[in-house]
Structure 1
Amino acid sequence: MRKLIRSVAVGASLAASVLFAPQAIAQDAHAPEQQIAGTDVQLSPNGARDAQTRAIAEANAAEVSAAATLCGTGYELEFAEQLPDSRRYGTLFTYVKSSVGSYGVCALFDNNTSSAKHMKLKLCPNKEGAACPTDEGTYSQYAGPVKYESSNGLYVMCAPVTAIMWDANGTPIIDRVRSATLCD
């Protein structure tokens, strides 16, 4: 039933485009897909525009879906990064949500090694003096999720997230600090 309603709405929208703005069809043909194939997970507008995020999401649909479930309802994939590089000891996923009066950012740090590692994931809201949700311990699957929700989207956007993973000798094999959202 839900697909039928969506199909009717899409059909009506397409008909309106043909009648009123044929150039809209050409533009829509080049717009990135908003939903990750094989999942119920949506890409945020920034995530849909980021080729790296789309490629990682398509190649790791099960992980993206599991992380979105841990973040909760309404979160869309904003960013995905293999860390430290193509060796991929871990993957950092960030999700955002935005609805009337409610904004959120959520991060999850996936352990892609074959053994448990000491990991730390920290998310700091873009607000001076605010507490930084942190998850640290030895994990075989993932650290997190850590999230921050606010009625003010300014505290969510450009919030720094830190992902650290240590080897058995205590040497960092991943030490990444970046914005949890794709900021200009």
Structure 2
Amino acid sequence: MKNASRLGCCCAALLALVTFASTASAAEPSDDGPRIEVVDVAGVQVARQASAGTRPIIASAPAVAVAAAGVCGAGYTISTGAARYGRYGTAYTWTNGRTTGGRYYDKPICAVFFNDTGAAHSMGVRLKDNYTATPDVEDFGTYSSYAGPVYQNKGYCGRAYSYMKVGNAVVVDNYLAVGTCN
């Protein structure tokens, strides 16, 4: 049932592409802290400080990126990172640009790891924020569409971990930095 609802959510997000692209020219105004500077990549807002690999991934499949944002829910419209792991999967991190604390990196983050194989595999996503006292949040299981979404309230400057096992072989075992921080 989880995969069926996930596919419905992805389809709804894809249908929202036109609306999203027309409103994605600037970051939402934030009256509760510093804003994330964004650039437009194929109609998708991408944090200027996102990893160098993020922009080409978003540009190559903007509809998929919008679907990933849709999985995270309303307001998560700024990509903070994306990583493609061969033919196996693509991880995305998103924020709504608001702050949940007084510092620039105290922004809510959502992470999703998409299964690009078309078949169910053991996989998962884990999100760690920039604070050692906060427990990681994760979603691991056997999925044909994606693992997640998982959220951290102060996740900017954190890390998203993606994992996938195909048969007996671990094919994805990687971290994605959320934003560029010191």
Report the TM-score when normalising by structure 2.
0.68
Change (3 A) 1:100 1:81: closer
Specify whether residues 138 and 66 from structure 1 end up closer, same or farther in structure 2 by C-alpha distance, changes over 3 A only.
same
What's the CA shift for 1:113?
A: 0.9
Q: Which is helix-richer, 1 or 2?
A: 1
Letter in 2 for 1:124: K
Q: What is the match of residue 164 of structure 1?
A: 163
Q: Which has the higher contact order (CA 8 A, sep 6+)?
A: 2
Using the TM superposition, give the Cα deviation of residue 178 of structure 1 relative to its aligned residue in structure 2, in angstroms: 3.5
State the TM-score, normalized to the length of structure 1: 0.67
Deviations 1:73-109 (A, max 9, x none): 33201111111xxx33111111123225462111111
* Partners of 1:121 and 1:136 within 8 A in 2: yes
User: What is the RMSD computed on CA atoms of the aligned residues?
Assistant: 2.3
Aligned to 1:95: 94
Give distance in 2, aligned partners of 1:131 and 1:77. 23
Quick one: structure 1 residues 148 and 100, their matched pair in 2 at CA, closer, same or farther if it must change by over 3 Å? closer
Instruction: Give 1:32-71 correspondences, 5 Å limit.
Output: 34-37=39-42, 39=43, 41-47=44-50, 50-71=51-72
Question: Are the counterparts in 1 of residues 81 and 176 from structure 2 also a CA contact under 8 Å?
Answer: no
Q: 1:113 aligns with which of 112, 117, 133?
A: 117
Distance 2:150 2:178 in 1: 11
Q: Which residue in 1 is equivalent to 2:84?
A: 82
Query: Which among 127, 130, 148 is matched to residue 131 of structure 2?
Result: 127
Match of 1:129, SS state, is coil
SS at match of 1:34: strand
Counterpart for residue 137 of structure 1: 141
Alpha-carbon distance in structure 2 between the residues aligned to 1:100 and 1:156: 10
2-structure distance, mates of 1:61, 1:124: 26
AA paired with 1:108?
A: V
Q: Secondary structure at the match of 2:117?
A: coil
Residues of 1 paired with 2:91 and 2:111: CA distance?
A: 7
CA contact (8 A) 2:96 2:108 kept: yes
Conserved? CA contact 1:44–1:96, under 8 Å: no
Structure 1 residue runs of 5 or longer lacking an equivalent are 1-5, 7-32, 150-154
Q: Is the 1:94–1:181 Cα contact (8 Å) retained in structure 2?
A: no
Distance verdict in 2 for CA 1:111–1:35, change over 3 Å: same
Quote the Cα distance in structure 2 between the aligned partners of 1:132 and 1:100. 19
Whole-Å Cα distance in 2 between the matches of residues 135 and 73 of structure 1?
Answer: 20
Cα shift at 1:68: 0.7
CA distance in 2, matches of 1:139, 1:72: 19
Q: Is the 8 A contact 1:107 1:180 kept in 2?
A: no
